[in-house]
Amino acid sequence: MKNLYYSVIVILLGCFITQMNGQTAKIAVALKTQGEVLYKHADEDKFNKDVETGTIFQNGDVISTDKDGYAVLVFIDDKSQLTIHENSNFVITRQEENSHILKRVSMEYGKLKATIQKQKDDEFIISTPTSVAAVKGTIFWVISDPKEGDQFYGIEGLIEIRNILSNRVLTLQKMEKSTSTPDGGLEKEKIEDEDVPGTTYQDQNGAGEEKVLRLRYKNKEGKIKHLEIIYEE
């Protein structure tokens, strides 16, 4: 199966991530989906919307994949990407305070691969019921289960992981695995390529056909703007 490689170019970001027509700020867009992937807004009780290519997510949206679900999301402001796999449930948020931006992925459970761009003075957090991972720019996997705990796999860069119960902290590096458990345990070990989780669909066979995703939207002044994302699959 082909791997999914994305080269993302985002145009007019500053306009896009502001409040538009009184609605909640838009923060991410779906590049690809397969299987059953649903989402709901923060003020809704039930998952009643299908995620499709081009679906735009707003602050606080909750995303869920079924046993065959798969999706690739890109954050609009910095092009950080999340590849979400089967049986996953999480919330995405973005907050701005004093010119600093905090993006957070709050996982209830599931499996994802994160490709996070360098954050400079900003923060990117992935939290679970067991752990909090602070990311400045890296590639890693996380598999989270509320009963069993979390497994983090470092592919590139550094990740600071904190166990919520014990408050223990460690720094995960390239080709290391960290296990964080609900009883407060936190440890890491060296891993080999074969230990890294594989993907459900595309995996390791290079880039393919270039595609372009074009979106039209209105900014807060009511003017039509365009968002263009170029990727390969």
Query: How many domains, in total, are found in the chain?
Result: 2
Instruction: For residues 13 and 64, state if they share a domain.
Output: yes
> Which pLDDT value is given to residue 13?
43
Residue numbers of the chain with a pLDDT score lower than 50:
1-23, 200-208, 232
> Which pLDDT value is given to residue 208?
47
> Which pLDDT value is given to residue 19?
41
Instruction: Give the closest residue to 82 by CA, choosing from 101, 65, 95.
Output: 65
Instruction: For residues 81 and 115, state if they share a domain.
Output: no
Instruction: For residues 38 and 73, state if they share a domain.
Output: yes
Instruction: For residues 194 and 116, state if they share a domain.
Output: yes
Instruction: For residues 101 and 174, state if they share a domain.
Output: yes
Instruction: For residues 103 and 194, state if they share a domain.
Output: yes
Q: Which domain holds residue 17?
A: 1-85+202-233
> Which pLDDT value is given to residue 220?
52
Instruction: For residues 16 and 75, state if they share a domain.
Output: yes
- CB < 8 Å & 24+ apart, contacts of 91-97: 91/42, 91/60, 91/61, 91/62, 91/63, 92/27, 92/28, 92/57, 92/59, 92/60, 92/61, 92/63, 93/27, 93/59, 93/60, 94/17, 94/25, 94/27, 94/59
For residue 34, what are the CA distances in angstroms to 70, 188, 200, 221?
A: 5, 33, 10, 35
What does pTM read for this prediction?
0.80
